[in-house]
Chain A
Amino acid sequence: MISLNANKIFICIFSSLFIIINLIWLFFDPFNTTTQYNYIVSYLNINIRFALDSISFFFIYLTTLLIPLCLLFSIRSRNTPVTHYYNNDLIFSIGILLLIVFSVFDILIFYISFEAILLPFFIYIGIAGYRQRRIHASYLFFFYTIIGSFFMLISIFFLFIYSGTTYLELLWVTEFPYLTSQLIWIALFFTFSIKVPMFPFHIWLPEAHVEAPTEGSVLLAGLLLKLGPYGMIRFLFPIFPELTYYYAPFVITLASIGIIYTSFITLRQIDIKKIIAYSSIAHMNMVILGLFSFNEAGFLGSIFLMIGHGIVSGGLFFCIGIIYDRYHTKIIHYLSGIINGMPVLSFCLFIFILGNVGLPGTSNFIGELLILCGIAYSHLFVSLIAAAIGIFLCTIYSIYTYNKIIFLMPYKYNIYISDLYLFEYIVLLPLIFFSLYLGVFPNIVLDSLQNVQLYNFINIFI
């Protein structure tokens, strides 16, 4: 068994990484249009290039923020029927792989780490739950993603055959034959749309969320879902700009359907985790709408919404995890009057719910506003209506859920509970801080994003 000491070491490593990445932010040059902090690993006979630009920087920031919180959250001894095994090593390995994925500039290494994340996460979903359904969920998660990954593998080798390289920046300037590039585009889009997840391939996400433990849900919603749009920004937009523009109506249609469909589904859910899972599908589809609206506002908004959603949904899942720890249920029919026992938690949950709704002053508001602006600039009125419906329904189900579980009188058998412990404060407060701070001062992120070199790729379309 991995002991608590190992967990402390892991937390120290990732917290120091967080401090380092904050220092990097201090010295980060927002006007630099190329990558910064380049580092080339020459191991045996291959060279792998790691680098930061503004986009990958904020995803790495999110990773180093969420991973130590997850490790911290897994310290507590919960009295559930689940095994008492600390899953730190799995979380740690997922974190390291995510750092590699977000910072590497080599498509093959990106693919390898992208698929290697499945390995710990599959085990993580499987061993942590207690219901028989968890095996089904982990299988769904694994097979949906692995099929997509294999398509990505084929397309990587198509790219390699034509360009003779797997370096990302060389691929950006290579031109590919028409038919081949279409095949590659579709295969890559298939891969990333499963990871987002977009409309026909979204079934695995709610299942995985419900069966995963709290930290797993946080990692899934906060970081793993971001791999899809991140891959699109890294590969689809720069390598095939014309084709991306050509296929944009198709993608926008899928995303609009996804937003409305998942929002309506959410209204009928009774499991809190499923509600948040479906709402994160709606939000991620919103991100896709922003990306494919092909203008400045939409692009910035979608990256901002990804960061905001990582923070807010992470906070929501932590709150649900705390509630589950006390009450041993996630069904909203069995939960009522939590505010009587846990006022502080109710306050924290309220802020995150407001963030999920997209109230002005929270981080998601900026993202959604920018995305709506972007959609309107591109005259995509149908998807504007879809996004508006999505936001409206999000308000309904979020407030309804909050109202149902927090207010009213408590049931008799769940009165004797304690409010937040110290480490739960430590977990929740940074997330609340970032959620509000990014909502009030969005320019600290947007300034860096505005001058990013990838922004040049958007300029092709304007």
Chain B
Amino acid sequence: MVIISEIYSILMFILLFIFFINYKLSDKYKYANVFNCCSWFLGLILVNSMIIDYLSLSAILSTHYYSLHKTIGEVVIKMFINIFTILHLIFINTYIKKSFFKKEEYIILLYLILISIYFFIISNDILSIYLLIEAQSLCYYILTASNKKNQVSLESGLKYFILSSLSSIFILFGFSIIYGFSGIFELSELALFYSHLHKTDPAHNIYFFWMPLVLIISAFLFKLYVAPFHFWVSDIYQGAPTHVMALFASITTLPMFYVFCKLYFALFYWFKDYLIYFFLFFSVCSMLFGILGALNQKKIKKLLAFSSVSNMGYIFIIFLEDNPMLVNYGFLYFILYIINTLGLLIIFLNLYNINNQIFIERLTHLSGLFNKNKPLSYIFIFLLFASAGMPPFALFVGKILLLTTLTFNLYIFMSFFIIFTAVISFYYYLKIIKYISFNKNINNYSLYKFDYMSAVILVSILAVSLLFLFNIEYISIFTELIALSLYK
């Protein structure tokens, strides 16, 4: 049974939901510790589903179901998402305790998102891809607006709902055109169909080929916040509560990007000679817009949003050439970037200003951290340098591997571009460091004691990002599997 871990997840969801309802309805327990119970429970479920995935690997490798067959790369993506979610559950504790929204519902919605992501990754069917995008997005709309007392949060939830559903409609429209012409839902059959049509009809019928292509690609670029479609992301990041923003930064984009790659290799692979120029444009554009947006930001979440836009530009290099190693290193870079961002987010989620009763929001709130907490600020500084791509860290290696896999002419072009953007991006990372270590403590505030488990995760993330400088293979063996299963 290939999808046994997904079925297990659904069963466990029902169990969790019943448990939750029971606690909620009973006056006896006053649902005091229900959040902690739920989060422990969810963590256990995730670990279990990873174990089940591992045990059913042989079945996955041997069988090919009609519409729900799972490749080894999808198992790997799922594993990474599970790991990120477990870390997420650990380090949001402080934030959840200090903030004012319904904590228990968060776990239920998170689990719903996870289940829809599991099916989203393994779906080989354009209809189910659309439906599962919608299923994820519905939960995200609720989570973004979950801070009901904050007007910005409500506004960003509405904004996210309108814009994201618009892009989903584009996807639906593109899929419906494809289905209208071919009558096929299945991705592998569509790939076969496209490849034959590509041979017989070199003129590329504009309605059949280009319309759905433009619609689907633009909608997916919107969801992945690549540059011309990136305008919404800073507002949503700023408006959403920080733990939801951590979800956006860690587990949302990776499966979305994977499915986009899948669609690219199934449907658009035959147009790659034309599409390369578009992807070059998108990549360069998002590098530039990302750094320009982040350059003068005063708010930390917006800064992170724009820096992730520019990092999507780096990742989109993988479409510039037809090379499996490039896909491998693209996913490697993506995962390393997510790990680094998680490190930064742990710090933002745990620094609580006791005097002002707020979490860190602006860069000025960080001033004087160096005098308050030296080890933390050292880790913070190292993480910032790591995400800027300084040499002794793993993200530097990821960037270099991406660059060196390109062919010579493209390498020269992109390397000068990347250096240009990297030097400018150093400016805003150094600005944060300036606030941390150089500025005196203006606000005279005191900081909440840092969570013990979060500190452990933070140090281990730093160690990981230093370790992978020397042996990138530890992650590379996983991302190779992803690339191979995309290129099957």
Interface positions of A (Cβ within 8 A of B): 1-2, 43-46, 83, 85, 111-112, 115-116, 118-119, 122-123, 126-127, 134-135, 138-139, 142-143, 146-147, 150-151, 153-154, 157, 160-161
Contact = CB atoms under 8 A, between A and B. Distances in A.
Interface stretch (B194-202, B207-215, B400-408): B400-408
A151 B420 CA distance: 11
Contacts of A116: 390-392
B438 interface: yes
A115 B426 contact: no
B473 A45 contact: yes
A6 to B, nearest CB: 12
B423 A150 contact: yes
B381, B391, B404, B426: residue with the most chain A Cβ atoms closer than 10 Å: B391
A160 B433 CA distance: 33
A2 B375 CA distance: 10
Contacts of A157: 400, 403-404, 411, 415
Contacts of A154: 415-416, 419
B151 to A, nearest CB: 36
Contacts of A134: 438
A150 B404 contact: no
A127 B426 contact: no
22 contacts: A1-B374, A2-B374, A43-B470, A111-B391, A116-B390, A118-B390, A119-B382, A119-B392, A126-B438, A134-B438, A138-B438, A139-B430, A143-B426, A143-B427, A146-B423, A153-B400, A154-B415, A154-B416, A154-B419, A157-B400, A157-B411, A161-B408
Interface string B384-403: 01000011100000001001
Contact of A46 (B374, B404, B411, B470): B470
A439 to B, nearest CB: 39
Nearest to A48: B470
Contacts of A147: 423
B471 interface: yes
B470 A44 contact: yes
A143 B423 contact: yes
Nearest to A127: B437
B370 interface: yes
Given A44-B471, A123-B381, A143-B423, 14 more contacts: A45-B473, A85-B374, A119-B381, A119-B382, A122-B430, A127-B370, A138-B438, A139-B430, A142-B430, A146-B423, A146-B426, A157-B403, A157-B415, A161-B408
Contacts of A45: 471, 473
A116, A126, A134, A151: residue with the most chain B Cβ atoms closer than 10 Å: A126
Nearest to A160: B404
Contacts, number: 67
A129 to B, nearest CB: 9
B422 interface: yes
Interface in B440-488: 470-471, 473
Given A1-B374, A45-B471, A83-B371, A150 B422 contact: yes
B272 interface: no
Contact of B390 (A119, A127, A143): A119
A161 B438 CA distance: 41
B24 interface: no
10 nearest A-B residue pairs (beta carbon) = A126-B438, A112-B391, A150-B419, A44-B471, A115-B391, A116-B392, A127-B437, A44-B470, A154-B415, A135-B438
Contacts of B400: 153, 157
B438 A127 contact: yes
A46, A85, A112, A161: residue with the most chain B Cβ atoms closer than 10 Å: A112
A153 B396 CA distance: 11
A1, A111, A150: residue with the most chain B Cβ atoms closer than 10 Å: A150
B299 to A, nearest CB: 21
A46 B438 CA distance: 38
A150 B388 CA distance: 13
B159 interface: no
Nearest to A97: B392
Contacts of B392: 112, 116, 119
A150 B425 CA distance: 13
Contacts of A150: 419, 422-423
B434 interface: yes
Contacts of A151: 419
Interface residues of B, number: 29
B37 to A, nearest CB: 40
Contacts of A44: 470-471
A106 to B, nearest CB: 13
A119 B381 CA distance: 9
A112 B400 CA distance: 12
A123 to B, nearest CB: 6
A45 B469 CA distance: 11
Given A1-B374, A119-B390, A157-B403, A126 B437 contact: yes
A86 to B, nearest CB: 11
A116 B385 CA distance: 10
A83 B370 CA distance: 11
Nearest to B471: A44
Contacts of A115: 390-391
Contact of B385 (A83, A119, A160, A161): A119
A46 B411 CA distance: 25
Nearest to B388: A146
A421 B381 CA distance: 36
Contacts of A153: 400, 419
A287 B9 CA distance: 70
A370 B400 CA distance: 43
Contacts of A126: 433-434, 437-438
A408 B290 CA distance: 60
A153 B415 CA distance: 10
A187 B427 CA distance: 22
A135 B437 CA distance: 11
Contacts of B408: 161
Nearest to B439: A135
Nearest to A150: B419
A154 B408 CA distance: 12
A45, A135, A153: residue with the most chain B Cβ atoms closer than 10 Å: A153
A119 B408 CA distance: 31
A118, A123, A135, A157: residue with the most chain B Cβ atoms closer than 10 Å: A123
B370 A142 contact: no
A111 B470 CA distance: 15
A83 B422 CA distance: 32
A356 B437 CA distance: 35
Given A45-B473, A154-B419, A123 B437 contact: yes
A185 B403 CA distance: 21
Given A46-B470, A83-B371, A143-B426, A135 B434 contact: yes
B411 to A, nearest CB: 8
A114 B227 CA distance: 34
Contacts of A139: 430
B409 to A, nearest CB: 12
Contacts of B473: 45
B356 to A, nearest CB: 24
A116 B416 CA distance: 21
B422 to A, nearest CB: 7
A123 B433 contact: yes
A160 B403 CA distance: 13
B246 to A, nearest CB: 26
B145 to A, nearest CB: 39
A306 to B, nearest CB: 25
A321 to B, nearest CB: 21
A134 B471 CA distance: 38
A161 B404 CA distance: 9
B262 to A, nearest CB: 31
Interface in B175-201: none
A317 B180 CA distance: 79
Contacts of B419: 150-151, 153-154
B381, B403, B437, B438: residue with the most chain A Cβ atoms closer than 10 Å: B438
Contacts of A1: 374
A83 B419 CA distance: 35
